[in-house]
Amino acid sequence: MFQKSFTQYHMFIKQGRLSWRVVKRFSDYVALHDDLRDNKANAGYPIDVTTLPKLPRKTLPGLNKLSDSLVQVRWRGAGTHLSDILAHSMRRERYRAC
């Protein structure tokens, strides 16, 4: 049976004393970004996605989607994106606690 090849991005996110291990495909990070933009994933507390770093493109000219170079660019971009989302969430929680 033919299986499509894909890359899973393993992230370890630490925010204060909390930490998470996240394993997702790049398309999952794109879907999260889209849900945040459409206000579906943030329980009514908007995140202005224009303030988040842009996710890298899914493809880059001349690179195979599984090339090491593209995988590294996507991994760094998705990690930065997740970190910024968490930082925004932590600021929101501190604000709500006041």
pLDDT digits (tens, 9 = 90+) for 48-94: 777 777 888 777 677 776 778 888 888 888 888 888 887 777 666 65
Taking 3-state DSSP, the helix, strand and coil percentages for the chain, each rounded to the nearest 5, stand at 45, 15, 40
| Residue 35: CB atoms within 10 Å | 13
Beta strands in 2-81 (DSSP E): 8-15, 18-25
Angle between helices 26-37 and 68-97 (to 10 degrees): 40
The domains located in the chain, with CATH, are 8-97 (3.30.1520.10)
Per DSSP, the three-state class of 9 is strand
Task: Identify the pLDDT of residue 4.
Answer: 66
